[in-house]
A and B are shown apart, each in its own frame.
Chain A
Amino acid sequence: MSEPFLIGDAMTGGYGKGPDILHECTISANKGEIAVIVGPNGAGKSTAMKAVFGMLNVHGGSVRLDGEDITKLSPQERVVKGMGFVPQTSNIFTSMTVEENLEMGAFIRTDDFSDTLMQIYDLFPILKEKRFQAAGELSGGQRQQVAVGRALMTQPKVLMLDEPTAGVSPIVMDELFDRIIEVARTGIPILMVEQNARQALEIADKAYVLVQGRNAHTGTGKELLADEEVRRSFLGG
């Protein structure tokens, strides 16, 4: 099997000098794929994603993007390498307008990014409508669209989302998932942490169930949905 486009391979590590949270945890995503990390509270889902993004101390294993070892790079350097990251909270500039948020997303680009801006407005029409409004005045679902749009402005090679549907209503959640599928269809691999396991597994090409920082189950979304043990322990029967 060829190497996945983005892979966090057998990562072991924790925050700062604290104890290890991840133990030989492997996460990967391929082009055009949506990879989802699910698991119970405190399983290290967000931690695993942050490890891939370089926000914690990984002392075992490695992270590779397109075959290049990026384990030692800082998060900022990884953004330059083509990783887009949407944090779970405080993921927009609340006092700035929607358009300014997107412009700041493209800060590292020195070329003309108006095309990308138009693409993002096509993808999220509501943002075009509210482009001159302060992002902090938008609803939860719209804020998440701003956050994803901001991360897409660098034209990343891979997009990572940390619980994009946290705190939004079920209807908005479905809409966000639709948008995320649309982004994946453009060929960008998506790595996503999700709290709403069932819905996330339904759209996942590949899914990881983590328990206590270890890979517990891995497979396609459908396989895991059908897996008796996964259903019993995480999906409530």
Chain B
Amino acid sequence: MDFLNAIVAFSNYVLVPGAAYGAQLALGALGVTLIYGILRFSNFAHGDTMAFGTAMTIIITNGLLALGITFGPLPTALLALPFGIAATCLLVLFTDKLVYKFYRKQKAAPVILVIVSMGVMFIMNGVVRFVIGVRDIRFTDGERFIISARDFKEMTGLKEGLAIKTTQGITVVVAIFVVIVLFWFLNKTRTGKSMRAFSDNEDLALLSGINPEKVVMVTWMIVAALATTAGVLYGLDKSFKAFTYFQLLLPIFASAIVGGLGSPLGAIAGGFVIAFSEVTITYAFKKVLVYLMPDSLEPTGLVQLLSTDYKFAVSFTILIIVLLFKPTGLFKGKSV
């Protein structure tokens, strides 16, 4: 029996990676939920918007590095992030003007807009691969660890090490900062309140003189910022690959729906629910149990519920359970 080592092992393999992954999903789901609340459709192009933003940030990061500019111990990509966001803003506003506006004027049904967003998804998908290629790209530089496993072991004298990567720390800090700014904006500013009013009751918002085109424009800009930030944080933490970002769409949608579509608070909660479920279910608990069980009961297998290859099944299962039993999600969003 060795609780301390069990807790450290659990933190190292489940808690810390889960928190970082959850923060990334939460930021992604916030974008999806804002589009759903205000433009009233599920934006399938969100994963590829994230990919585009990240690709732009990588290109600018490379440019900065070529000029000899770095961000000290922090990844240079953080310096490039604002430029990536600006480029993504331009892309989504251009897409809106070119594509979505046409359907909005026609008052197209949400299901048509979903299909339209799938078309946009394929095009963005192609653009990203064309611009940056299909291979796996690592663009993390600077200090690798806040605490490495070896330092932790030396500090505490425990057998298990706890490593916290710089990118994990940055992910959580940036996510908290972004969420605070977003909630301040939505709850305290005139424009933010008008967005909530528009999401709540479109007809009454129009009667109150709220300009729908301005609300839509601001929404797209916020979504571009959220998507790029989420994509860059995910890429820093793991790596960038166009196809992986396309696949991220599923856990992101699952997060938004579990939390309740249209509810920003729900998107954050949903992100962590999905992330921790995925990490916990695909983690081999043998290491933790070895410390907790008496020797005679020590597990012989890996005690892993699902292989990591099946991690998407976790999101899918949670999604189906929520849609069957609580379609409005945890935070009373709109039902799908």
CB contacts (< 8 Å) of A75 on chain B: these are 206-207
Given contacts A100-B193, A103-B193, A104-B194, contact A93 B200 (CB under 8 A): yes
Contact A93 B204 (CB under 8 A): yes
- Shortest 9 CB-CB distances between A and B: which pairs? A108-B209, A93-B200, A104-B197, A107-B208, A95-B200, A107-B209, A104-B208, A93-B197, A93-B201
B290 part of interface (Cβ distance < 8 Å)? no
Given contacts A87-B204, A90-B201, A96-B200, contact A76 B209 (CB under 8 A): yes
A133 part of interface (Cβ distance < 8 Å)? no
Report the interface size class on chain B. 10 to 19
Partner of B205, one of A85, A87, A103, A104: A104
Interface residue ranges of A66-113 to B (CB < 8 Å) = 75-76, 79-80, 85, 87, 90-96, 100, 103-105, 107-108
Given contacts A104-B194, A107-B194, contact A94 B201 (CB under 8 A): yes
* Chain B residue at minimum C-beta to C-beta distance from A151: B207
B210 part of interface (Cβ distance < 8 Å)? yes
CB contacts (< 8 Å) of B200 on chain A: these are 93-96
* Chain B residue at minimum C-beta to C-beta distance from A147: B204
The CA-CA distance from A90 to B200 in the complex, in Å, is 10
A150 part of interface (Cβ distance < 8 Å)? yes
The CA-CA distance from A94 to B199 in the complex, in Å, is 11
Contact B193 A104 (CB under 8 A): yes
Q: Which of A80, A93, A96, A150 has the most CB of B within 10 A?
A: A93
Q: Which of B196, B197, B210 has the most CB of A within 10 A?
A: B197
Q: Interface code B182-202, partner A: CB below 8 Å = 1, 0 otherwise? A: 000000001001101101110
Contact B203 A108 (CB under 8 A): no
Could you tell me the distance in whole angstroms from the C-beta of A56 to the nearest C-beta in chain B? 14
Contact A107 B196 (CB under 8 A): no
The CA-CA distance from A107 to B200 in the complex, in Å, is 15
Partner of B208, one of A90, A94, A95, A150: A150
Report the interface size class on chain A. 20 to 34
CB contacts (< 8 Å) of B208 on chain A: these are 79, 104-105, 107-108, 150
The CA-CA distance from A75 to B204 in the complex, in Å, is 11
Could you tell me the distance in whole angstroms from the C-beta of B205 to the nearest C-beta in chain A? 7
Contact B207 A76 (CB under 8 A): yes
Could you tell me the distance in whole angstroms from the C-beta of B203 to the nearest C-beta in chain A? 7
Partner of A93, one of B196, B206, B209: B196
Contact B193 A76 (CB under 8 A): no
Interface residue ranges of A40-56 to B (CB < 8 Å) = none
15 A-B pairs in the complex with CB atoms less than 8 angstroms apart: A75-B206, A75-B207, A79-B207, A87-B203, A87-B204, A87-B207, A93-B197, A93-B205, A95-B199, A100-B193, A103-B193, A107-B190, A107-B209, A108-B208, A108-B209
Could you tell me the distance in whole angstroms from the C-beta of A79 to the nearest C-beta in chain B? 6
| 15 new A-B contacts at CB < 8 Å, known A93-B200, A95-B196, A95-B200 | A76-B207, A76-B209, A79-B208, A79-B209, A87-B204, A93-B196, A93-B197, A93-B204, A96-B200, A100-B196, A103-B193, A104-B210, A105-B208, A108-B208, A150-B204
The CA-CA distance from A93 to B197 in the complex, in Å, is 6
The CA-CA distance from A93 to B194 in the complex, in Å, is 11
